[in-house]
Amino acid sequence: MFWSEISPDFSTMPAFTHITQNGVVHSEKVHPTYEQMGSEREMTDDIFDETYHEKEAVLCFTLGGLGVTAGAHRLWSHRSYKATLPLRIFLAIINSMAFQNDIYEWARDHRVHHKFSETDADPHNAKRGFFFAHIGWLLVRKHPDVIEKGQKLDLSDLKADQVVMFQRRHYKTSVVLICFVLPSFVPWYCWGETFLISFLLCILRYTSTLNASWLVNSVAHMYGNRPYDRHINPRENHFVVFGALGEGFHNYHHTFPFDYSTSEYGWRWNFTTSFIDLMCFLGLASNCKKVAKGTILARKIRTGDGSHKTG
């Protein structure tokens, strides 16, 4: 299902700013990146060529991803663990590197997504098709139900968090500096990479982070098994697990949204959980919420699709 119907009384309106932004970074910049690089210096056929810059791009991809997964998602959307002020500041900084809306807006929309999943009030309603769930929802105006339900949510915890509100007030500046300027400047200044190549790889890293996150909304809502609750659409998808730093255990997550690990398997293919556990070890995080094994097993037996081994 690539595109689907929506309530007949709603007229979809394009969001031209987002269309332009995503069109530029996806079509104009990403496709010729390595062709342009090849004309300026020798490269191997491996996209992850062993150079400082490729390593820096992977590092920035990981940091930006953690800003979304460990920050906007597991900490601020679900309050599945507690973080000290230094960790919250760090997560807010690397969240700006991801450039996927500020923490306040991201968490608000995600809470609406969980509360009204796959209805007109869901910002990226997968019942409207793969394209809409993946990127289309960012290219059109929000459905009125999304706005209405979002305005009724209790967001007092986000408003009371000075780190969240500081990032929101200075979001555009932080994105320019942390998502684009700094990652482009470091390779040019530190090891003599051309600025053009640095910037092009920065755009490639950014679009990779975007699509890794969007896969959770599209692929993980359509493809995979449902071992915990067969009555909802979110699925377990190991491709998404790997690309989104552990966020692909989506049937589990929608069944137990308060679990800090978003999975019953701990560190297995779950880099975000490993990161949070490391923060706990360092004394920067605490009070991680986890579902009891007996509760998980009982739920699999009661509502699962039978695809999960329960022995």
Predicted pLDDT at 147: 94
Half-sphere exposure at residue 190, Cβ-oriented, CA atoms within 13 angstroms: 11
What is the mean pLDDT of the segment spanning 234-263?
Answer: 96
- What CA–CA distance (Å, rounded) separates 1 from 13? 21
Residue 271 or 54, more confident: 271
- What CA–CA distance (Å, rounded) separates 135 from 137? 6
pLDDT in tens, 107-122: 999 999 999 999 999 9
Instruction: State the average pLDDT for the chain.
Output: 87
Other C-beta atoms closer than 10 Å to the C-beta of 75 total 25
- What CA–CA distance (Å, rounded) separates 223 from 203? 28
Say which DSSP state 294 is in.
Answer: H
Tokens 């609750």 correspond to: 229
Q: How confident is the model at residue 202 (pLDDT cuts 50, 70, 90)?
A: very high
Checking if the pLDDT of 175 tops 50, the result is yes
Residue 55: what residue type?
K
Q: How far is CA 58 from CA 63, 70, 98, 135, 241, in A?
A: 9, 17, 13, 23, 17
Q: Maximum CA pair distance of the chain?
A: 60
Lowest-pLDDT choice from 8-17, 133-142, 206-215: 8-17
- What CA–CA distance (Å, rounded) separates 32 from 71? 32
pTM of the predicted model as reported, rounded to 2 decimal places: 0.86
The dihedral formed by the CA atoms of 84, 86, 88 and 92, expressed in degrees to the nearest 10 = 180
Structure tokens at 27: 């079509």
Q: Where are the domains of the chain?
A: 54-309
